[in-house]
């Protein structure tokens, strides 16, 4: 595609394709809210996003349909109730849901569809696209738009990631995302993966990009993704999301507008949605603190941050040390319970090292 250049697009320069923004405030942002969104809050956020012209709004537990559990954290409200409220509030936006095979089921997806959701986003680890096939088939049978999510995309190279995308497209995905779940992709890393997917599936399906701010590169990586052929991009208002948060929707919209990339989203409307609707709800503003930066540096799944913070407080060990060990071990989404084991191991090591320091020396 024609490279994106800063400033307005003049009449004699071909316009870049329209980019579709999917806002994940009410899904990825659920992590940062400890999954405590209320129906009233969902309605308020959907109303603001819909009024600004955002085309797709994602609504579920942070870990997708069926994610409300002891392991991931219990939701305040059932997914299907929040989805129904979002559908009722939206005038033009589509409501999307996320499903991780093994966490959610096809029946969960059917209930979300019956509540009015029209976009099914099926997420797998970047090497496990084959577990999504029955879910894509079911979603297509239900008449839903289908989007594939290849999570922790930094864990494998561009060509291997493209092969996984091919599996999803052959299974019925209409778009496949490069998902930087750890915020670990650094500029050229994101470019290469998006380009590899475009080369592999671009004649049959669209390519998307989902960025996180753990290394503060979510916006830059999203721009590079678009320059390399991505036409769907995710964000969240106020960067509300796991880890240091997602690419902020309002910044994405403003940046793409400056670059002359059409999104169909009103910049001032997006800014108002962030400032007036979401910011007052925030328990904590996502930012790149030591723990979140460690996640990006060590390649740790962003939703592990709050779990690691709770384990650190309970066992009196540093958050960043837990996350560094988790990164070294290569844990993936669904292994949140292993964080306790890491914290216990660190606590045991500290106790042993402390005892060694105070052990009295034998005379002689």
Q: Where is pLDDT greater, at 315 or 59?
A: 59
Q: Is the pLDDT of residue 222 over 70?
A: yes
What pLDDT was estimated at residue 218? 95
Statement to judge: residues 199 and 318 lie in one domain: no
- The answer as to whether 176 is a domain residue is yes
Range of the domain at 52: 20-281
Statement to judge: residues 321 and 266 lie in one domain: no
Say how far apart CA 151 and CA 180 lie, in whole Å: 7
The domain that holds 351 is classified in CATH as 1.10.8.60
The sign of the CA dihedral 124, 299, 189, 284 is positive
Statement to judge: residues 122 and 267 lie in one domain: yes
- The answer as to whether 147 is a domain residue is yes
Statement to judge: residues 268 and 307 lie in one domain: no
Q: 3-state SS of the chain: helix, strand, coil percent to 5?
A: 50, 15, 40
Q: Which two tokens stand for residue 123?
A: 């997420």
What pLDDT was estimated at residue 13? 44
Q: Is the pLDDT of residue 356 over 60?
A: no
- The answer as to whether 142 is a domain residue is yes
Domain boundary among 281, 316, 335: 281
- The pLDDT tens digits of the residues spanning 288-336 come to 787 778 777 666 766 777 777 788 888 888 887 887 787 777 777 667 7
Of the candidates 31, 35, 135, 212, the residue annotated as catalytic is: 31
Number of domains present in the structure of the chain? 2
b/e per residue, 140-168, with b = 16+ CB within 10 A?
bebebbbbbbbbbbbbbebeebbebbbbb
What pLDDT was estimated at residue 40? 97
Statement to judge: residues 314 and 184 lie in one domain: no
- The answer as to whether 295 is a domain residue is no
- The pLDDT tens digits of the residues spanning 245-285 come to 899 999 999 999 999 999 999 999 999 999 999 999 987 77
Q: Mean pLDDT across the stretch 122-140?
A: 96
Its pTM stands at 0.84
Closest CA to 122 of 141, 142, 104: 104
Statement to judge: residues 222 and 258 lie in one domain: yes
Q: How many CB atoms are closer than 10 A to CB 228?
A: 23
b/e per residue, 58-78, with b = 16+ CB within 10 A?
bbbbbbbbbbbeeebbebebe
Say how far apart CA 125 and CA 141 lie, in whole Å: 24
Q: Which two tokens stand for residue 128?
A: 């496990």
Q: Mean pLDDT across the stretch 37-45?
A: 96
Q: Is the pLDDT of residue 360 over 70?
A: no
Three-state DSSP class for residue 343: helix
Statement to judge: residues 272 and 320 lie in one domain: no
What pLDDT was estimated at residue 364? 45
Q: Which two tokens stand for residue 327?
A: 């990164």
Q: Where is pLDDT greater, at 315 or 185?
A: 185
Least confident window among 6-10, 12-16, 18-22: 6-10
- The pLDDT tens digits of the residues spanning 16-36 come to 679 999 999 999 998 888 889
Q: Mean pLDDT across the stretch 207-216?
A: 94
- The answer as to whether 15 is a domain residue is no
- The answer as to whether 293 is a domain residue is no
The domain that holds 181 is classified in CATH as 3.20.20.70
Statement to judge: residues 222 and 316 lie in one domain: no
Statement to judge: residues 46 and 153 lie in one domain: yes
Q: Where is pLDDT greater, at 243 or 251?
A: 251
Domain boundary among 250, 281, 312: 281
Q: Which two tokens stand for residue 111?
A: 């209930």
Known catalytic residue at 31: yes
Q: Which two tokens stand for residue 219?
A: 């916006």
Q: Mean pLDDT across the stretch 181-193?
A: 93
Statement to judge: residues 270 and 339 lie in one domain: no
Statement to judge: residues 244 and 341 lie in one domain: no
- The answer as to whether 290 is a domain residue is no
Domain boundary among 227, 247, 281: 281
Which bin fits 74, alpha (ψ -120 to 50), beta or left (φ > 0)?
beta
- The answer as to whether 114 is a domain residue is yes
Statement to judge: residues 66 and 191 lie in one domain: yes
């Amino acid at each position: 595609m024609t490279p994106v250049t800063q400033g307005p697009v003049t009449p004699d320069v071909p316009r870049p394709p329209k980019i579709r923004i999917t806002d994940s405030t009410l899904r990825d942002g659920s992590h940062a809210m400890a999954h405590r969104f209320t129906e009233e809050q969902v309605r308020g956020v959907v109303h603001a996003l819909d009024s600004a012209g955002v085309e797709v709004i994602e609504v579920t537990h942070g870990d997708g349909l069926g994610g409300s559990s002891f392991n991931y954290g219990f939701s305040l409200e059932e997914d299907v109730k929040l989805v129904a409220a979002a559908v009722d509030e939206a005038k033009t936006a589509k409501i999307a849901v996320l499903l991780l095979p093994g966490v959610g089921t096809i029946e969960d997806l059917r209930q979300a569809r019956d509540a009015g959701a029209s976009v099914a986003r099926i997420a797998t680890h970047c090497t496990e696209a084959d577990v999504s096939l029955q879910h894509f088939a079911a979603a297509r049978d239900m008449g839903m738009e289908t989007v594939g999510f290849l999570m922790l995309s930094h864990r494998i190279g561009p060509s291997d990631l493209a092969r996984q995308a091919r599996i999803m497209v052959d299974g019925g995905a209409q778009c496949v995302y490069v998902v930087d779940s750890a915020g670990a992709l650094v500029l050229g890393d994101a470019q290469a993966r998006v380009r590899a997917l475009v080369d592999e599936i671009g004649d049959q399906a669209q390519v998307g990009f989902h960025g996180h701010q753990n290394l503060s590169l979510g916006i830059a990586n999203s721009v590079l993704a678009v320059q390399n052929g991505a036409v769907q991009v995710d964000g969240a208002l106020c960067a509300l999301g796991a880890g240091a948060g997602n690419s902020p929707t309002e910044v994405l919209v403003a940046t793409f507008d400056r670059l002359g990339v059409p999104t169909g989203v009103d910049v001032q409307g997006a800014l108002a949605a962030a400032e007036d609707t979401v910011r007052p709800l925030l328990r904590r503003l996502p930012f790149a603190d030591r723990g979140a930066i460690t996640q990006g540096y060590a390649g740790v799944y962003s939703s592990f941050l709050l779990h690691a913070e709770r384990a650190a407080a309970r066992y009196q060990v540093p958050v960043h040390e837990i996350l560094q060990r988790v990164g070294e071990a290569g844990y993936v989404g669904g292994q949140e319970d292993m964080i306790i084991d890491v914290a216990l191991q660190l606590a045991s090591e500290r106790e042993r090292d402390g005892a060694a320091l105070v052990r009295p020396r034998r005379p002689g």
